[in-house]
Structure formats: C-alpha cells, structure tokens
C-alpha cells in the first residue's frame, strides 16, 4: 500500500488489522507499520488495538538513553492516552522516519564536495536525501529535534479521529470532545480508546492536526529548605520492568532454532592479513563445528560460544601487517603537527590571531579512548533463499544493511534488519564491522549464527576516540582579562573518516587516505562556547595516523571544553582572580550561562577554588560549557570536589546545574546528565589505551581505570526552569566534567594536569 502527503487510505491489512495510511511527508513510502488482528495503524507512528493498547513505533536505537520512553511519551501526551496502556516497538528501517536534522549536520560527511547545509534554502533536497537513503541514525541527541513534531502530529491526528468516532455516536461536534487517560469525553458521555479504535480508523484526520496549545513538558516540584528539584515520576520508563526482571532482549539474547555460535580473532590495526594457521590444534575441541577464514580475521563456529573461543585460543592465529600502529609514532606525529603543521582556521572572531603574541601559552594532550561498553559487539544472522535476516544493535541501520548486502553481493531489499537494544554504546555502534562478519558467517555455515566478540577483540577491533594535541595561547590584559585567544588543535579528521566508512562503505585505511589532509570543523567544535573574547582563532591541524578513529559520546566537546576550561582556570589563578567571577566577567552575552554558574555554586557551596592543604586536604574545581545543536542550546556548570586520602586522589562529589530548555521527561533528563557526569569521570580518569604493534596495550576492562561503584562520587544535579526549545541531556553532562576534576585536583594538590586521562601524567 502506498501513502502520500494528502492521501488517506483505510482497508484490510495483513492479519486482519486496519491500516490508516496517512502522513505529512512530501514523498511516498510503503507504510512501515503492520497492524495485527484487532489493531488500527494511525500514521507511521502508532497503532491502537481493540483492547486499548497504544503501540508507538520508535526509529532510534535504545542504548540506555530512554528513547523508547521519550518518544512514546510525546505521542501519549498529545493523544491523551493512559500511560499504563502504552507499548513500544522498534520501527523498521524506512524513509518515513528520516532523521533530517542529523542529515543536515552531517551533510559534509555524505556530500563532502558540497559543504554544509548552513544558509542553504533547499531543505526539500536535504529531506529527500534523508528519506531516500532511509537515514535514521541515532546520534548526537537528535530524538526530539528530529521526531517530536512528527510524534505530536501523529498523536493529534489520532486524537481527532477518535473524537470524530465518538462524536458520530453521540451526535455532537467532535471539536467539543476531549481526550484524557485513554478516554474520549463529552459532557456525561465517555468512550474508551479500545471501544473507538476500529471505528476511528475510517475517519478523515484534519489537516493540519489539531495540536494542543502547549508542547510536551514535565513540571518540577520544589521542596525542602534548599528548594531541591524533585523529579515527577508520572512517566516511568517503559523499558525498566523488563530490564529489572531480565526479560529485556539485547543483542546477545537472540535465539533461533538450530543456531550456532561464533567467536573471532581480528588482525592488528591496520590492514592486517591472516597468515596460515594450524587448524589441527583445535581438532579435539568439543562442540566445534567449523572454522571460517576471512581475509583479515578468523572465526570459529561451535554449538556454544565458549567452545568457539577455546578453539581460537588453541589455534592462536597469526596476522601480518606492514606498518602496524605504534603509540610512539602517533605521539611524534601529533607533536610535530601541533607545533609545525599547516592547519585551517575553523572559527574566527574579531582580528583572529593577527599579530598574535601570547602572554600565556599551554599544551594539552588527549590519549586514544576506548568506548568500553559493558556489552561487547554481538550480532545474529541467517541467510535463507538469498534473503539475509540480521538481529543487530546499530546506530546506523541503513549503513549496516548496505555493508552486509555488499559483503554478500545481494541487494539492499534482500537484507532484513531487526533492531535490538544495545547495552550501551557511547557511539560505538556507529560502525558496522560486525554486520559484514556475521553476514559472511551465515553464508558459510548455512545456519543461523550468532557472533560475539570477546572483550579483548572489542578492544582490538574497535575504533577509539582520536588522540589529540592542542596548543592554547592568550593575549591577556594586566588585570587578567583575555583579549585574544588562539587554539591549534591537532588530530585526525575523525568525522570525515567516519563518514567515508558509514556512507561509502570504505575500508578503514581507504577512509584515512581519502581524508588525511581534510580540515574538519566537527573535530574542534565547542572551544569558543559562551565567552565574549574579542579576538579568537581556532585552527584544526589534520594529522594522518594509521589508527582508525571514531566518534565518542560528547564528540569534540569532550576535549575542547577540557582545553578551554583548564586554560581559563590557570589564567585566573595566575592573575589572582577567583575562577567563577573570572568566567562571569566574560559571559556578558550569555546571562543564562551566568545563571547556571551561580546555581552550581549555590548547590556546591562553592569555596572559590581555594587550595586545600595537607593529607586529606580537599579542593573544588569549576568548569562550564555550552552546546548549540539543532536550534536548541544546552548549558551546564560542574563543580567537582576532590581530596587526597588513604586511597589516593579521589573525586568525592560532583555538583551540576544545567539549563536544557523545556524538559519533556525530568527523570530521564536527570538520569542522562548523571550518566554523562559518570562518563566524563571515566574519561577523566581512564578509558585510554596505548598501541604497540597495532594492538591496544590495555586488554581488559579492569585495565582501563574505570570508576567502580565504590569510586562513584556523590552526585547532585539541578535543572533550571526554561521554556526554550529542548536540548537533549545525553551529552551535555560529559564535556565540563574532566576540566572540573582537573581544576579540583589542582586545588587539592597544587598539581596541574594537562593530559587526559589526568592521572596518566603521574604514572
């Protein structure tokens, strides 16, 4: 069945359900929803069943961020549904769910010769690209920016159709009916969604849909003497019950009849090739089914994963690589480029760096960082009659289909992807190496097969956050005000490289070669933030490394905030300025950031960043950051409290105040900010690795210096009230955490640490 912008078709669908094919998109699509018996599908977003259950389709990967609650909540609030009767299902890959804002932001990645879409009028061309390429990537907190309007329209249209069905029964104007808690009301009349669903499917929705006057927002309650904000638990997460009782299906939980299990060994970075190996070494391994050889990997297939892993351990396959990644060589390349390399100015203000003569210049470094997801890569596939079915947690589902189809030499239409939840991602699932591997394993075994990477292979084959070297210098007035700031940031052009792998299905080495000298504004964004420094120049110096790199939660903000906020702290201390007021003096154009800083200071009982003394001496450190994405702005200020003690240098408390605009789900917002703070803590203290002969030097999670529950500090978060456009809370907690901790460590010890992770400079 085909649907168009103005068309409305209703009829019998597979399984006896009713398909209401109505959409506001300017293209035609096969309707992605398949209603079952007793169900009616309203738009591409929701179905209502004869038992009253409202099922909402979610086209984003659930990886702990709560998107399978957030979007259904938007629909439910606009629809007037009873939250206890709302269910969710992963949406199939479809152009109906195009993520247009992210397609615009990533335009340089998929159309590198044409630049960005900023200031371009042809939004229709952009939208058509996103729809035609079924671009539904989950990244950079785009859920509300991309889908809130569609979810509201779907809920409003379905509400109107239900009201029309009720009004026909009662012979009243449908505009006088109201929806509330799963019922339609008019004076003394009442009818449930369950009663009206199938009748409503034959109604004609008004165009445009009758949206409620106020957008979805959840109010906060102020309680206690210090007026701490309580979260309102009116919308509990839909995924929590199954995650608590263990029934939630993650990638590794998929089970198919006659399924076998595969383990794998990858070669070192980069462009390794598998040498000859002695298969007889595993001949006695009980449960082993077969070995599958790839050009750059070896997989063992068995009737259980442990047997497959043991077979590979016994074989210990060897790989050759002409020029393996070496940590020392990367450090030398970064140092050379940041000092002497030619770069391109990405952001400039005032006179830029004209006549640049610094009064203060400092060097900062960032080590490669592993994503360190709890759940390692896992994928399941079966190939039957030329059709590949995959169960895969991926942030880029269409790219995964393309990669698998290319590996098997079949068409996109012959690859069926079933999205499954990820146990965490931090943008690890933007890459789809496993889709290729599991597709080939399904072909070679002729059976359903589940591939699971071991922790060691997760480290070996993953593409880390890029290493970075930065030089910051400033021209400073006698009283300490920064009049000019120059930043030179040397790092690989990670996002263009990722774009080649994602959109063009390039190998890692081909992507590196094609982008080696490409300046990348996304690699240095976030450094300017809110400060009204008159003259600024931010330069990206591209560095060609043999190490493939990828995006990590927070993106470049995760290190540019570290550079800037640590630099500002040093400038303030050298001129005997109090760090908070020093920042406020440069924030005249951003009063909301001033309010955020003041709220954080009040929450933490800010002591001015005074240096603690002696064993057990504590210190506080401050940092703030601003992110502008998709027409919304997020602001955060973080104060860390650190102390020296018997266990060494520890972060005892984290205080954060954030302004993320209109809050749709307060509980999820707080969870995401708290999670971002803990993730920032992990990035500040660990998650790094060096490389020797193409292999990471850290093999296990225990070697990454990740914070344990015992290490987790007290966390206090305050959300400022705002009616501005909502900013996704998933990444805003990350950037300011590391610099706040670095500044707190200085207050506690007197030591200045300018390398991430921080304590690596002491080992």
Question: DSSP letters along 560-626, please?
Answer: HHHHHHHHHHHHHHHTT--HHHHHHTT-TT-HHHHHHHHHHHHHHT---SPPP-STT-EEEEEEEEE
Q: Write the burial class of residue 509 (CB in 10 Å: 0-12 exposed, 13-18 middle, 19+ buried).
A: middle
Q: Which two tokens stand for residue 367?
A: 């080590």
Q: Write the burial class of residue 290 (CB in 10 Å: 0-12 exposed, 13-18 middle, 19+ buried).
A: middle
Q: Return the CATH number of the domain spanning residue range 341-368+465-762.
A: 3.30.365.10
Q: Which two tokens stand for residue 674?
A: 């708290």
Please name the helix (run of DSSP H) or strand (run of DSSP E) that holds residue 486, with its range, or none.
strand 482-491
pLDDT of residue 43: 87
Domain ranges of the chain: 2-200, 251-321+377-452, 341-368+465-762
Give the CATH number of domain 251-321+377-452; options: 3.30.365.10, 3.40.630.10, 3.40.50.720, 3.90.1150.10.
3.30.365.10
Q: What dihedral angle (degrees, nearest 10) is formed by the CA atoms of 439, 444, 446, 450? A: -50
How far apart are the C-alpha atoms of 399 and 175, rounded to whole Å?
Answer: 44
How far apart are the C-alpha atoms of 33 and 506, rounded to whole Å?
Answer: 33
Q: Which two tokens stand for residue 473?
A: 């210098």
pTM of the model: 0.93
pLDDT of residue 610: 87
Degrees to nearest 5, angle at CA 679 with 675 and 685: 145
What's the topology of domain 2-200?
A: Aldehyde Oxidoreductase; domain 4 (3.30.365)
pLDDT of residue 615: 44
How far apart are the C-alpha atoms of 574 and 571, rounded to whole Å?
Answer: 5
- Which residue matches tokens 């009243």? 172
Residue 633 near residue 727, CB atoms below 8 Å: yes
Beta bridge partners of residue 221, listed in sequence order: 230
How far apart are the C-alpha atoms of 169 and 191, rounded to whole Å?
Answer: 10
pLDDT of residue 257: 97
Find the helix packing angle between 397-408 and 433-445, rounded to 10°: 40
Q: Which two tokens stand for residue 77?
A: 């609030």
Beta bridge partners of residue 717, listed in sequence order: 656
Tell me the CB-side half-sphere exposure of residue 460, using CA atoms within 13 A: 17
How far apart are the C-alpha atoms of 476 and 429, rounded to whole Å?
Answer: 43
How far apart are the C-alpha atoms of 56 and 75, rounded to whole Å?
Answer: 8
pLDDT, one tens digit per residue, over 282-303 is 999 999 999 999 999 999 999 9
Degrees to nearest 5, angle at CA 540 with 535 and 542: 165
pLDDT, one tens digit per residue, over 312-360 is 999 999 999 999 999 999 999 999 999 999 999 999 999 998 988 999 9
Phi and psi for 242 in degrees, rounded to 5?
A: -70, -30
Give the C-alpha distances (Å, rounded to integers) separating 440 from 91, 409, 445. 26, 11, 9
Residue 150: partners with Cβ closer than 8 Å, 6 or more residues away: 24, 45
SS3 sequence, 380-446?
EEEEECCEEEEEECCCCHHHHHHHHHHHHCCCHHHEEEEECECCCCCCHHHCCHHHHHHHHHHHHHC
Find the helix packing angle between 666-685 and 737-749, rounded to 10°: 50
Q: Which two tokens stand for residue 98?
A: 């195009």
Domains 251-321+377-452 and 341-368+465-762 share a fold: yes
Nearest one of 704, 694, 692 to 328, comparing CA atoms: 692
Degrees to nearest 5, angle at CA 646 with 644 and 649: 30
How far apart are the C-alpha atoms of 181 and 97, rounded to whole Å?
Answer: 27
Tell me the CB-side half-sphere exposure of residue 519, using CA atoms within 13 A: 16
Q: Which two tokens stand for residue 62?
A: 């659930």
Degrees to nearest 5, angle at CA 432 with 428 and 435: 135
Residue 497: partners with Cβ closer than 8 Å, 6 or more residues away: 511, 512, 515, 548, 549
Give the C-alpha distances (Å, rounded to integers) separating 298 from 37, 262, 269, 458. 46, 10, 15, 15
Residue 549 near residue 497, CB atoms below 8 Å: yes
pLDDT < 50 positions in the chain: 1-16, 19-27, 117-121, 221-232, 613-615
């Amino acid at each position: 069945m085909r649907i168009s912008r103005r068309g409305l078709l209703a009829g019998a669908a597979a399984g006896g359900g009713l398909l209401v094919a109505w959409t506001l998109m300017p293209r035609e699509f096969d309707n992605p929803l398949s209603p079952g018996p007793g169900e009616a599908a309203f738009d591409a977003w929701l179905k209502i069943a004869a038992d009253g259950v409202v099922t909402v389709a979610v086209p984003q990967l659930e990886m702990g961020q709560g998107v399978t609650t957030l979007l259904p909540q938007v629909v439910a609030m606009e629809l007037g549904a009873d939250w206890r009767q709302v269910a969710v299902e992963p949406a199939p890959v479809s152009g109906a769910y195009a993520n247009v804002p992210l397609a615009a932001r990533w335009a340089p990645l998929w159309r590198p010769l044409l630049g960005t879409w900023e200031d371009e009028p042809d939004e229709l061309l952009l939208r058509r690209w996103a729809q035609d390429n079924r671009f539904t990537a989950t990244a950079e907190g785009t859920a509300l920016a991309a889908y809130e309007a569609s979810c509201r329209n779907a809920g409003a249209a379905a509400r109107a159709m239900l009201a029309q069905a009720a009004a026909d029964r009662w012979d009243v104007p449908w505009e006088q009916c109201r929806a509330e808690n799963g019922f339609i009301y008019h004076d003394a009349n009442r009818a449930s969604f369950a009663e009206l669903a199938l009748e409503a499917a034959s109604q004609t929705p008004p165009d445009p849909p009758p949206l409620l006057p106020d957008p979805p927002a959840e109010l906060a309650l102020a309680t206690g003497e210090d007026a701490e904000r309580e979260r309102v638990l009116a919308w509990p997460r839909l995924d929590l019950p199954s995650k608590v009782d263990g029934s939630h299906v993650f990638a590794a939980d998929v089970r198919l009849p006659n399924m076998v299990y595969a383990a794998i060994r990858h070669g070192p970075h980069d462009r390794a090739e598998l040498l000859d190996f002695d298969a007889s070494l595993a001949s006695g391994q009980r449960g082993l089914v077969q070995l599958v050889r790839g050009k750059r990997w070896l997989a063992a297939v068995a009737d259980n994963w442990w047997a497959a892993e043991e077979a590979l351990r016994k074989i210990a396959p060897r790989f050759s690589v002409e020029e393996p990644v070496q940590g020392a060589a990367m450090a030398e390349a970064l140092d050379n480029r940041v000092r002497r390399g030619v770069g391109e100015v990405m952001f400039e203000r005032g006179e830029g760096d004209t006549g640049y003569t610094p009064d203060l210049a400092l060097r900062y470094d960032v080590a490669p960082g592993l994503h360190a997801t709890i759940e390692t890569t896992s994928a399941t596939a079966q190939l039957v009659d030329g059709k590949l079915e995959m169960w895969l947690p991926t942030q880029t589902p269409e790219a995964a289909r393309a990669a698998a189809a290319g590996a098997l030499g079949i068409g996109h239409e012959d690859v069926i992807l079933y999205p499954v939840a990820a146990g965490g991602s931090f943008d690890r699932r933007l890459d789809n190496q496993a889709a290729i591997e599991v597709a080939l394993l399904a072909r070679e075994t002729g059976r359903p097969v589940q591939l699971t990477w071991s922790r060691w292979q997760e480290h070996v084959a993953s593409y880390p956050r890029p290493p970075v070297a930065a030089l910051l210098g400033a021209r400073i007035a006698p009283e300490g005000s920064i009049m000019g700031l120059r930043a030179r940031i040397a790092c690989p052009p990670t996002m263009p490289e990722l774009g080649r792998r994602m959109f063009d299905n390039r190998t890692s080495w081909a992507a590196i070669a094609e982008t080696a000298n490409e300046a990348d504004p996304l690699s240095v964004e976030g450094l300017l933030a809110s400060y009204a420094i008159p003259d600024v120049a931010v330069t990206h110096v591209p560095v060609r490394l043999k190490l493939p790199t990828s995006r990590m939660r927070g993106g470049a903000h995760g290190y540019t905030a570290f550079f800037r906020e640590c630099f500002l702290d040093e400038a303030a201390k050298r001129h005997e300025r109090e760090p908070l007021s020093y920042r406020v003096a440069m924030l005249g154009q951003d009063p909301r950031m001033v309010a955020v800083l003041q709220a954080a200071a009040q929450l933490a009982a800010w002591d001015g960043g005074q240096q603690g003394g002696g064993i057990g001496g504590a210190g506080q450190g401050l940092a703030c950051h601003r992110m502008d994405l998709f027409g919304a702005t997020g602001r955060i200020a973080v104060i860390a409290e650190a102390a020296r003690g018997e266990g060494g240098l520890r972060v005892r408390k984290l205080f954060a105040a954030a302004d993320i605009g209109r809050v749709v789900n307060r509980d999820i917002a707080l969870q995401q900010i708290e999670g971002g703070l803990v993730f920032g803590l992990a990035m500040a203290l660990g998650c790094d690795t060096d490389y020797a002969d193409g292999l990471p030097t850290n093999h296990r999670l225990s070697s990454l210096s990740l914070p344990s529950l015992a290490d987790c500090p007290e966390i206090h978060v305050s959300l400022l009230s705002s009616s501005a456009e909502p900013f996704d809370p998933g990444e805003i907690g990350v950037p300011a955490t590391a610099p706040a901790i670095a500044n707190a460590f200085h207050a506690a010890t007197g030591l200045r640490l300018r390398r991430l992770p921080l304590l690596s400079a002491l080992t």
